[in-house]
């Protein structure tokens, strides 16, 4: 127990009898307490409570204007939930009914008048010890909560780094900069926001998108890096990167990876039902898959790969407009074009 804290504890003493106030001041001063605030006017309770922020309250039960029961109600309205503020009731005569009512309203102990100085000091010290340990526990809980929050942030950062590294791993074989996955993720987030998705949903799509081509790890280099067009057999094998990626990501309990699984499986589905691997049509394709399909398509067209030249922005936008309602969800195209126009005007 911290003796300095105990001696500096803030007292609020409310009793309409000046004699009782004077007696308590003498008793408490001799016991080493110095931070004493007293009033004989219970109407000053609210103001003094806010000014002093007491560690303990000594309260007479029978007073004019505002009696002890009304005072207890006012105090409880101002004590934060979960906080412990000891209230010691002073009274000459406490019936069982009065005691029950006072305890119900937040009183913690009773002192019967005339006051015995030894009893006064012992009861107050016991209440202040409980107050001190409660404050210590609160501090420890706050520190623990802060540490948990710090660990949570670090774990979230580590998870995000792992997602990014996995995405870069899948792209490194045909995009040595490793930037394709990040660009697609950023574009997918912007499209999601333009469609009205919440910040949380848009950020989740951004984090999950870099894993959309994770299944490329299962595609042989002679197909993945082949210049020119695939043969029908090669294209069939290339298409399996969707199901391979989905298999790798299947069964996770984390929302990021659950969404990554959905995107990996569906980002090559087409609005008109001619896509792969399942030939889904329209809104049967998850929205995240529809968004990433367009973001991936645009980025792949406008950047050079071993097997293709980079298209100009104008060429890519023209092609996307042609594919509105065929390859791509019309609303997703419109949201994308809104982003492109906004960026053009700002440049």
**Residue 152: its pLDDT value, please?**
83
For 33, the domain range is 3-145
314 shares a domain with 204: yes
209 shares a domain with 106: no
Residue 261 maps to a domain: yes
Domain stop point among 145, 180, 198? 145
**Residue 316: its pLDDT value, please?**
93
Average pLDDT for 213-217: 90
195 shares a domain with 296: yes
Residue 134 maps to a domain: yes
d(CA 211, CA 167): 5
Q: Given a cut of 70, is residue 270 above it in pLDDT?
A: yes
102 shares a domain with 56: yes
pLDDT one-digit tens code per residue, 76-91: 888 888 789 999 998 8
Contacts of 26 (CB under 8 A, 6+ apart): none
Give pTM, 2 decimals.
Answer: 0.60
Instruction: Name the pLDDT band for 175 (thresholds 50, 70, 90).
Output: low
Q: Given a cut of 70, is residue 346 above it in pLDDT?
A: no
Q: Given a cut of 80, is residue 307 above it in pLDDT?
A: no
Residue 156 maps to a domain: no
189 shares a domain with 306: yes
The CATH number of the domain holding residue 106 is: 3.40.50.2300
**Residue 242: its pLDDT value, please?**
96
342 shares a domain with 219: yes
The CATH number of the domain holding residue 340 is: 1.10.3210.10
- For the chain, the domain total comes to 2
Residue 186 maps to a domain: yes
255 shares a domain with 116: no
276 shares a domain with 133: no
């Amino acid at each position: 127990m911290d003796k300095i804290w105990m001696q500096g504890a803030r007292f609020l003493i409310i009793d309409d009898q000046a004699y009782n106030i004077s007696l308590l001041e003498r008793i408490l001063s001799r016991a080493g307490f110095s931070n004493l605030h007293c009033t004989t006017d219970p109407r000053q309770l609210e103001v003094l409570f806010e000014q002093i922020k007491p560690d303990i309250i000594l309260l007479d039960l029978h007073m004019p204007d505002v009696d002890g029961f009304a005072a207890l109600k006012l105090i409880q309205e101002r004590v934060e939930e979960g906080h412990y503020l000891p209230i010691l009731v002073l009274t000459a005569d406490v019936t069982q009914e009065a005691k029950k009512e006072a305890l119900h309203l937040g009183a913690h102990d009773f002192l019967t008048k005339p006051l015995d100085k030894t009893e006064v000091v012992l009861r107050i010290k016991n209440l202040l010890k409980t107050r001190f340990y409660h404050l210590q526990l609160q501090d420890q809980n706050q520190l623990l909560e802060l540490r948990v929050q710090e660990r949570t942030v670090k774990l979230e950062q580590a998870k995000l780094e792992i997602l990014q590294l996995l995405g870069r791993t899948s792209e490194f074989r045909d995009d040595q900069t490793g930037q394709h996955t990040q660009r697609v993720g950023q574009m997918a987030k912007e499209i999601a926001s333009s469609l009205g998705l919440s910040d949380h949903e848009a950020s989740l799509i951004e984090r999950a998108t870099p894993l959309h081509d994770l299944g490329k790890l299962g595609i042989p280099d002679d197909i993945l890096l082949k210049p020119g067009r695939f043969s029908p057999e090669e294209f069939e094998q290339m298409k399996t990167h969707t199901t391979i990626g989905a298999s790798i990501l299947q069964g996770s309990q984390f929302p990021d990876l659950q969404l990554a699984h959905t995107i990996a499986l569906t980002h090559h589905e087409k609005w008109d039902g001619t896509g792969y691997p399942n030939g889904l049509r329209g809104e049967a394709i998850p929205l995240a898959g529809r968004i990433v399909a367009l973001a991936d398509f645009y980025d792949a067209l406008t950047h050079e790969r071993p097997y293709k030249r980079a298209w100009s922005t104008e060429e890519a936008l023209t092609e996307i407009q042609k594919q509105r309602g065929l390859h791509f969800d019309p609303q997703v195209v419109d949201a994308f074009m809104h982003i492109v126009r906004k960026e053009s005007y700002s440049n």
